[in-house]
């Protein structure tokens, strides 16, 4: 029985001695005056510490090869159509844009050779990525309107530029309005 007690005692002592450092200690407040005499460090005989070493390297980034050899297959015709405009964060066609769309549709129905690109643009106030989505929706709403007016859907492409190609860079509502637009470009195949 005594043996058991001794064992328990040894174990407890072991736990107290070696296990007393809790996982996290927040440093106690530093005394304001000079520190006390060097503490007793009988228990802290540390083995000679071996200095660890580290060699710092970095992956050298070689120049990335950009393989973008595609050249545009189409060129822009020099025909200018009126832009149509949108409200902030909206993509429905406003009544003031409809006359321009009607005359564009008329032109497309008379001139059947070129392809139309509807570009959707936004003002800078929204965030970049959402603006690209919004520009896409403006282009789609515009395209849907033209198709409803009889333009063959296969002739109308959509392209969103988000806020990346502003017409105007002042921070005024007048300028922002100019940027919230659908812009029209007629493409012709190269060499034709």
Partner 1 sequence: MKRYRAKDNKHRGGSNRKPFILLTLCSILYALSVLFSAEAKVYIDISSPAFKRLPIAIPEFYGPSGKEISDIIRDDLEFTGLFLNIDRAAYIETSSQPFNPKNWSPIGVEAVVKGSVKEERELIVLVSLYDVFEGKEILKKEYKAGRDLIRPLSHTIANDIYSTLTGEKGMFRSRIAFVGEEAGKKDIYLMDWDGKRVSKMGLIKDIIVAPRWSRDGTKLVYSAERNRQWAIYLLDFVNTREKKVFSSTGTNIVGDFMPDGDYFIFSSSKDRTFDLYMMSLKSQNTIKLTSSQSIEVSPTVSPDGNYIAFVSDRGGSPQIYVMKREGTDTRRITFEGSYNTSPSWSPKGDKIVFSGRRGTNQIFIVNPDSTGLTQLTTQGNNEDPSFSSDGRYITFSSDRDGVKGVYIMRANGESQKRVTLKNIKAFGPRWSPN
Residues 50-109 that bind partner 1 (CB under 8 A): 51-59, 61-68, 70-72, 89
Residues in 124-143 that interact with partner 1 by CB under 8 A = 125-130, 132-137, 140
Residue with smaller CB distance to partner 1, 113 or 128: 128
How many residues lie near partner 1 (CB under 8 A)? Answer: 72
Compute the least distance from the CB of residue 100 to partner 1, in Å: 22
Stretch that binds partner 1, among 77-85, 101-109, 120-128, 172-180 (CB under 8 A): 120-128
The torsion defined by the Cα of 7, 9, 10 and 16, in degrees rounded to 10, comes to: 150
CA count, 13 A, side-chain hemisphere, 87: 6
DSSP H helical ranges for 122-165: 128-148
Residue with smaller CB distance to partner 1, 103 or 128: 128
Residue 143 DSSP code? H
Residues in 149-168 that interact with partner 1 by CB under 8 A = 157-162, 164
Which of 96, 74, 56 shows the shortest CA–CA distance to 190? 74
Residue with smaller CB distance to partner 1, 164 or 189: 164
Residue 100 DSSP code? H
Residue with smaller CB distance to partner 1, 53 or 174: 53
Which of 130, 123, 133 shows the shortest CA–CA distance to 86? 123
């Amino acid at each position: 029985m005594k043996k058991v007690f001794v064992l328990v005692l040894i174990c407890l002592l072991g736990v107290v001695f070696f296990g007393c450092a809790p996982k996290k200690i927040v440093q106690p407040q530093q005394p304001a005056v000079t520190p006390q005499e060097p503490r007793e460090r009988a228990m802290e005989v540390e083995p000679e510490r071996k200095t660890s070493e580290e060699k710092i390297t970095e992956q050298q980034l070689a120049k990335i090869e950009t393989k973008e050899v595609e050249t545009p297959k189409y060129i822009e015709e020099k025909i200018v159509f009126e832009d149509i405009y949108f409200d902030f964060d909206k993509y429905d066609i406003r009544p003031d844009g409809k006359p321009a769309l009607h005359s564009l549709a008329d032109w497309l129905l008379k001139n059947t050779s070129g392809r139309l690109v509807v570009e959707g643009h936004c003002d800078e106030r929204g965030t970049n990525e959402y603006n690209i989505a919004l520009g896409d929706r403006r282009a789609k709403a515009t395209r849907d309107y033209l198709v409803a007016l009889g333009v063959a859907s296969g002739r109308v492409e959509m392209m969103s530029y988000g806020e990346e190609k502003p017409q105007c860079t002042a921070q005024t509502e007048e300028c922002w309005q100019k940027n919230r637009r659908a812009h029209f470009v007629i493409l012709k195949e190269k060499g034709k």
